[in-house]
Amino acid sequence: MLPTFLIGLREGLEAALVVGILVAYLTRLGRRDVLGRLWFGIGLAVALALAIGAVLTFGAYSLTFEAQELIGGLLSVLTVAMVTWMIFWMQKAGRTMKRTLEGGVDRALAHGTLWALVAIGFVSVAREGIETTLLLWSMVQSFGDAPSALLGALLGILAAAALGVLLARGMLRLDLRAFFLWTGAFLIVVAAGVLAYGIHDLQEAGALPGPFTALAPVDPATGAVAVGAAGFPFGWAFDLSAAIPPKSPLAAIMQATVGFTPKMSWLQVIAWTLYVAIVGAVFATRARRSRPRSAHAAQPEPNDAPTEAAASRPESTPAVVPAPPAVTHQGAP
């Protein structure tokens, strides 16, 4: 439950901060009359995420085992690619996100079209919604305890919504830079586990060589697939099932947090290790480069709206969220 809670909290808080920027900007412009359009677009994004989750959950029941494993493996790889892209995209685009969102609102109001604001609300939330759905689905597939996983995600999303309201109203101080930095690092480890499980599914489907295919090395003494150095590269890297039963609480916790299973193939271990090493190194390097060099650089601008800090990601988020100042927008239509 804890891993999915943290995922729901992080992704939900990202969406809540984006929505907070949009709502606060329209309120400053005195255009609360168009908030309904924005909320309609946000509702469509939530509905799309739920629909994708329903299709993934119930749509594979009529497929063969190999087809289910193939689809599951490909979706896991797609999820990892999407999560990785979002992590680095936030690092690059976080500092300009508020201006980008407000510019989109200005253009929509200038043209006076209904669907422009609906589209802004939809696109702003759909990214986080689809990413969350795919990530949760992949995690449920990997460790199987769907009720606990979904409950943890729901609690995380509700907590994120509450935090978003408190931050937007200036009632809570939170080091958002540190929050997104640490949860980003956590997501990298989770994504590595999802990738390893996706490799396992693809091996079971026969799409990749592994312990379930004819290419697997065999122990001549037992006739079973070789384990350890003898099993490289398409056999089992290790088998700790005797020491850590696959259905034990310890195995479930380790699988849900770091993607460890008591029995893993060499391709799974190699994929997990390379992903954490490469993506983690790039993430850490970018985080160091974007760290404020002085206390002055970390302070918000005097005229920032209360959601300016909330809109920023680890690179540009100031240490605390300031109380809402009075801001007058000279260009409101």
Is the backbone peptide bond immediately before 233 cis, with ω within 30 degrees of 0? Answer: yes
Its pTM surpasses 0.85: no
C-alpha span between 99 and 97 (Å, rounded): 6
Q: Is the pLDDT assigned to residue 293 strictly greater than 80?
A: no
The DSSP annotation for 242-286 comes to TTS-TTSHHHHHHHHHH---SEEEHHHHHHHHHHHHHHHHHHHHH
Q: Please, which pLDDT band fits residue 204 given cuts at 50, 70 and 90?
A: very high
Residue-averaged pLDDT of the chain: 79
Q: Is the pLDDT assigned to residue 322 strictly greater than 80?
A: no
Identify which of 239, 180, 268 has the alpha carbon closest to the alpha carbon of residue 259: 268
- Residue 300: partners with Cβ closer than 8 Å, 6 or more residues away: 308, 309, 318, 322
C-alpha span between 271 and 275 (Å, rounded): 6
Q: What are phi and psi of 265, to 5 degrees?
A: -80, 165
Average pLDDT over residues 29-51: 88
